[in-house]
Amino acid sequence: MPLLRGLLPEIYVVLVLPDRKKSTIKLAHRLLPRFLSQKESDFMDLKIVLNKMYINSQYSHDRELFKEL
């Protein structure tokens, strides 16, 4: 895990947790998630977060294209 942990800030980790136990949340935070949700959620919050992540990735991709020109 320590070897891969350095790569985690580069990856957008989104987790849906099975419960709200302190031990589960503690383990989840080791993965440096950008967002945590619960399985009991209606997932509207997750939809909003994923939408924003997608839009930001498109914006970032477009900026990279302009740098190449």
Distance CA 69, CA 54 (A): 23
List the domain range (segments joined by +) for residue 36.
Answer: 2-68
C-alpha torsion angle, residues 16, 21, 27, 32 (rounded to 10): 50
CB atoms within 10 A of CB 36: 19
pTM for this predicted structure: 0.66
Residue 29: phi and psi, rounded to 5, are -65, -20
- Total domains, the chain: 1
Residues 11-53 have pLDDT tens digits of: 788 999 999 999 999 999 998 898 999 999 999 999 999 999 8
